Amino acid sequence: MRLSHTLTPVATLGLMLFGYSHGAWAEASDKLWPAIKDSFFAGKTIEPAPFIKLEGPRRAESGAQVPITLTVDKPLNDAEAIQKVYLIVDANPIKLAATYHFTPLSGKAQIATRIRQEADSFVRAIGETASGKLYMTTIEIRAAGGCGGPVDGDDSAIRAAAGKIKLSAETPVKFGEANPATFMIKHPMYTGLQRDLVSGGYKPAFYIQKLDFNFNGKPVMSVDVGVAVAEDPYMRFFYVPDAPGVLEVKAQDNEGKTFSQSVEIKS
């Protein structure tokens, strides 16, 4: 399935204006979803999914750092396993926050992370199988101001620090089982909708857009990252080591810069 997030500028602007003009600054509105569904999943049937769970605060302390946990209670080696999960925030100017691509080496399809949220919104996890079947779960989170607003700081220093990664594996490690690990990368994740306090103009979008996790060179998980992922992206995820080796992550930002980090997994 080809997800139509490569929208034309006019279509993207239309979605943005649609969101704002239908009360995205008030309580979460289910009127936004039909247009979003037509843009991303036109002509597709999406079934409810009791086996996909989203957890998050009813009201977030900050729209810039909204904690959520995604869990898919279905084996990744199942014939109809969920291979991708699209994370969509209805009321955000840019709806698609991230796309998670799982493999059997993920062991467990569970992600704890943080997102940006511009207004009270429904947050949706849409899972896709290898055969293209779609399943969805939805929660409502109240939050505001996470995508826009002013930003400050020394741009040169911010860019110099961008890309520093912390990757750690929780111990003790159990070989042949799903083990948790945590990842964080220093990055401002500018959305392109924030104003520079000095110049008064908009800060250009500057964000991590791709993450690849591997164990001993074999793919564990990849993530297509959008600007709705919070500053200094964080994830707690799972991987399956079959023997001692190296867990590695490679990151790339929208300007083509790449960053990597690895951790040795010992018996």
pLDDT at 60 over 50: yes
pTM of the model: 0.89
Question: Stretch 11-20: mean pLDDT, rounded?
Answer: 40
pLDDT at 12 over 90: no
Q: What is the pLDDT of residue 8?
A: 35
For 70-128, the pLDDT digits (tens) are 999 999 998 899 999 999 999 999 999 999 999 999 999 999 999 999 999 999 999 99
**Residue 21 DSSP SS3:** helix
Question: Stretch 66-71: mean pLDDT, rounded?
Answer: 98
pLDDT at 250 over 50: yes
CATH fold of 9-265:
Immunoglobulin-like (2.60.40)
Q: What is the pLDDT of residue 4?
A: 41
Residue 128 near residue 134, CB atoms below 8 Å: yes
176 vs 258: CA distance, rounded Å: 30
**Residue 201 DSSP SS3:** coil
Rg (CA), the chain: 18
More confident residue, 13 or 177: 177
Mean pLDDT, the chain, integer: 90
pLDDT at 27 over 90: no
Question: Stretch 225-241: mean pLDDT, rounded?
Answer: 98
Question: Stretch 56-83: mean pLDDT, rounded?
Answer: 95
CA distances from 207 to 26, 39, 183, 230, 256 (A): 28, 23, 16, 10, 10
For 147-161, the pLDDT digits (tens) are 998 888 888 999 999
> Domain boundaries in the chain?
9-265
24 vs 143: CA distance, rounded Å: 11
Residue 178 near residue 215, CB atoms below 8 Å: no
91 vs 23: CA distance, rounded Å: 9
- 234 forms bridges with which residues in the sheet? 184
pLDDT at 22 over 60: no
56 vs 68: CA distance, rounded Å: 5
**Residue 132 DSSP SS3:** coil
Element (H, E) at 139: strand 134-141
Residue 226 near residue 98, CB atoms below 8 Å: yes
Question: Stretch 187-203: mean pLDDT, rounded?
Answer: 92
CA distances from 231 to 34, 136, 192 (A): 29, 26, 13
Listed residue (73, 28, 70, 67) closest to 50, CA to CA = 73
Is the four-CA dihedral 250, 100, 237, 267 of positive or negative sign?
negative
Question: Stretch 57-62: mean pLDDT, rounded?
Answer: 96
**Residue 133 DSSP SS3:** coil
Question: Stretch 38-43: mean pLDDT, rounded?
Answer: 96
Residue 76 near residue 109, CB atoms below 8 Å: yes
Listed residue (250, 254, 248) closest to 209, CA to CA = 254
**Strand ranges, E, within 130-164:** 134-141, 150-151
Question: Stretch 39-56: mean pLDDT, rounded?
Answer: 97
